[in-house]
Amino acid sequence: MKFNRMFGVKKRKKSLLLGLTIGLSISLFGCSGENAKQEESSSKSINSYDSEEQLASSEKIEVEESESSFDKEIKESGNKEETSEGNQPIVEVKKYSFEEASAKTSAFLEWAASRAEKGNMAVTDLFFNHGAAGKGDWYAVTEDGEIQVQQPFLDETLPGYDAFDIHALGGVVFYTSLSGITGYDGTPETQATAVGFHEIADLNYSMHKYLLGDNGVVYELIGTVEEIGSFSAGYDEYSDDGLTKPGAEAVEKFVFEVSEDKDAQKEWVRILTED
């Protein structure tokens, strides 16, 4: 810009300087106002964020306080070693005899009893039972597909061992005892099938049903006593033709997921792979 040509007169220079000064003052005032607004907006955003963060923290604390010590122990165990889906321990899958399956389940029950005692819970290996039934195989739904729970007639294919990719060698159930029993609890063995856990388990705490798969994975179903407190809850039976499943729609609401209890997963793999 050629100021000498445009403003050769001193008076004009003074006017220009005065105008520039006033313009600069207005500009600075405007910027100051905008900065103040931005700071105020930023302050409100920060305060709003802090309030939301405090609320979320408060809600998290309330959830954590409502959990049982057993649930917390499982979560802490899971945090020790994170594993992604499809990265489960692999063991050699084979067909186990009744005696072998019983021995493996008993070994896991011994470990589970100690674990339950530490978590102020009771545990039983009576994970499944039923009253009058047909000839078909019993199964449960897992996130990896159906798992055979019982084959009432070994000589029949209804649908039979080979129809399932996964087979439960046994299982255990963790719950909070109304009578204060911790560790192994033999009470379920004397309960009528129709009663289930309703008279021995505290309704205020969740139950944990574990299925011990022959693939080396522990599957878990968590629910209230009202939801899964019967001995047959979570399971369905194939019809006598071994083809149809009358209770399929109901049982699909109870999906056994891969347990987040990493200690249980490691122990089950150890038991299956030991000589």
How far apart (Å, rounded) are the C-alpha atoms in residues 192 and 130?
Answer: 10
- What does the pLDDT look like over 46-93, one tens digit per residue? 344 344 444 444 443 333 344 555 666 555 554 444 443 444 557 888
- At residue 101, does pLDDT exceed 70? yes
Position 58 scores a pLDDT of 42
Q: What is the pLDDT of residue 68?
A: 57
| Mode of pairing for the β-strands spanning 236-237 and 138-142 | antiparallel
- Using the predicted structure, report yes or no on whether residue 171 has a pLDDT greater than 60: yes
Give the 3-state DSSP-derived string for the chain, with helices as H, strands as E and coil as C: CCHHHHCCCHHHHHHHHHHHHHHHHHHHHHHHHHHHHHHHHHHHHHHHHHHHHHHHHHHHHHHHHHCCHHHHHHHHHHHHCCCCCCCCCCCCCCCCCHHHHHHHHHHHHHHHHHHHHHCCCEEECCCCCCCCCCCCCEEEEECCEEEEEECCCCCCCCCCHHHCCEEEEEEEEEECECCCCCEECCHHHHCCCCCCCCCCECCCCCEEEEEEECCCCEEEEEECHHHHCCCCCCCEECCCCCCCCCCHHHHCCCEEEECCCHHHHHHHHHHHHCC
- Determine the length of the chain: 275
pLDDT tens per residue across span 216-251:
999 999 999 999 999 999 999 999 999 999 999 999
Give residue-wise pLDDT tens across range 178-224: 999 999 999 999 999 999 999 999 999 999 999 999 999 999 999 99
Per-residue exposure over 52-91, b if at least 16 CB sit within 10 Å of its own CB, e if not: eeeeeeeeeeeeeeeebebbebbeebbeeeeeeeeebbeb
Give the strand pairing for 138-142 and 145-150: antiparallel
pTM above 0.85, yes or no: no
The whole-number pLDDT of residue 91 equals 84
CB-based contact 127:150 (threshold 8 Å)? no
Which structure tokens are listed for 102? 């019983």
